[in-house]
Amino acid sequence: MPLLGVRKNVTSGLHTPLKPLQRRRPLELTMHAVWFICAISSIIGIFFILIFLLYDAAPVFMDTGIIPFLSGERWDPTSVMPKYGLVPLIVGTLLVTIGAMVFAVPFGIACAIYISEMAGPRMRKILKPAIELLAGIPSVVYGFFGLAVLVKFLQDALSVPSGESVLAGSILLGIMSLPTIISVSEDAISSVPRYLKEGSLALGATHWQTIARVILPAALSGITAAIILGIGRAVGETMAVIMVTG
């Protein structure tokens, strides 16, 4: 057996040393340095944003106090005597997010089941790119649509002075969360092994029974991830919510 670091010459039976490793090319070193600088720059940028926010928020904490800020029940920074309370922001975010998920989760999972299990190949090729395209629409476009169409519809349908409400924000955020939930759920359902479905059908289960009792439980982890991503989209949205909730 030849020793480590040597190479056996087949023709002569002699052992010759291996050639030294090639040095890195200048282009490779340059790109390594460029990507390293990009990574460090992003971290430094986030750090300075955090410092900037803390510096501007320090006077509020010094005047109000941390405990009153966390437990305050009013947020009115534009009045003569500004009030800074975090409770209305948290409660409003929770209400809008819960309402959005009540709307988005059933529709999203149902649409994912249709695309992966019921739609034909031609329909699947149309629906899947269209849904993924909806995820790239800017939030301000959704907000303008909600302000021009959804708010007016709720005002006329409910006979209220203004359609800007938590309901409008929930419906709009549900629409914005649908592409994420549908795409991830559809991928999770499509990745279920085919033999599970075929085994269920072979045992006499109907298509609906197979979907409800075999496919969905097998894809539950992926569907849960889709719901969590949808909640993250709803919680992190600001522009569209401000435009339709008033």
pLDDT of 70-90, one tens digit each? 777 787 777 777 777 888 888
Q: Answer whether residue 22 is part of any domain.
A: no
Listed in sequence order, the residues at least 6 apart from 132 whose beta carbon sits closer than 8 Å to its beta carbon are 179, 183
Out of 2-11, 17-26, 66-75, 204-213, the most confident range is 204-213
Q: Answer whether residue 1 is part of any domain.
A: no
- The crossing angle, in degrees rounded to 10, of helices 166-190 and 121-134 is 140
pLDDT, one tens digit per residue, over 172-211 is: 999 999 999 999 999 999 898 988 888 998 988 888 899 9
Which H/E stretch holds residue 144?
A: helix 139-145
User: Same domain, yes or no, for 115 and 217?
Assistant: yes
Average pLDDT value for residue range 36-47: 91
User: Same domain, yes or no, for 138 and 230?
Assistant: yes
SS3 of 169-197: the string is HHHHHHHHHHHHHHHHHHHHHHCCCHHHH
Q: Answer whether residue 13 is part of any domain.
A: no
Average pLDDT value for residue range 38-52: 92
pLDDT at 39 > cutoff 60: yes
User: Same domain, yes or no, for 112 and 188?
Assistant: yes
Give 6's pLDDT tier (boundaries 50, 70, 90): very low
User: Same domain, yes or no, for 151 and 188?
Assistant: yes
Average pLDDT value for residue range 43-61: 88
Q: Give CA–CA dist 116/109, Å, rounded.
A: 11
The pLDDT of residue 229? 92
User: Same domain, yes or no, for 212 and 240?
Assistant: yes
Q: Give CA–CA dist 160/126, Å, rounded.
A: 39
User: Same domain, yes or no, for 45 and 151?
Assistant: no
pLDDT at 167 > cutoff 80: yes
Among the residue ranges 7-16, 30-39, 99-108, 223-232, the one predicted with the least confidence is: 7-16
Beta strands in the chain (DSSP E): 6-8, 15-17
Average pLDDT value for residue range 53-67: 81
Mean pLDDT for all residues in the chain:
84
Q: Which residue has the tokens 């097998």?
A: 218
User: Same domain, yes or no, for 224 and 146?
Assistant: yes
Split into its structural domains, the chain has a count of 2
User: Same domain, yes or no, for 175 and 209?
Assistant: yes
**CB-CB neighbours of 154 under 10 Å:** 20
**Quick one: CA torsion of 19, 21, 27, 32, rounded to 10 degrees?**
170
Q: Give CA–CA dist 9/17, Å, rounded.
A: 10
From its phi and psi, is residue 84 left (phi > 0), alpha (psi between -120 and 50) or beta?
beta
Burial of 95 from C-beta contacts in 10 A (0-12 / 13-18 / 19+): middle
Per the structure, the complete domain to which residue 185 belongs is given by 88-245
Listed in sequence order, the residues at least 6 apart from 94 whose beta carbon sits closer than 8 Å to its beta carbon are none
User: Same domain, yes or no, for 102 and 203?
Assistant: yes
DSSP 20: P
Three-state secondary structure call for residue 74: coil
User: Same domain, yes or no, for 146 and 170?
Assistant: yes
User: Same domain, yes or no, for 41 and 160?
Assistant: no
DSSP 83: B
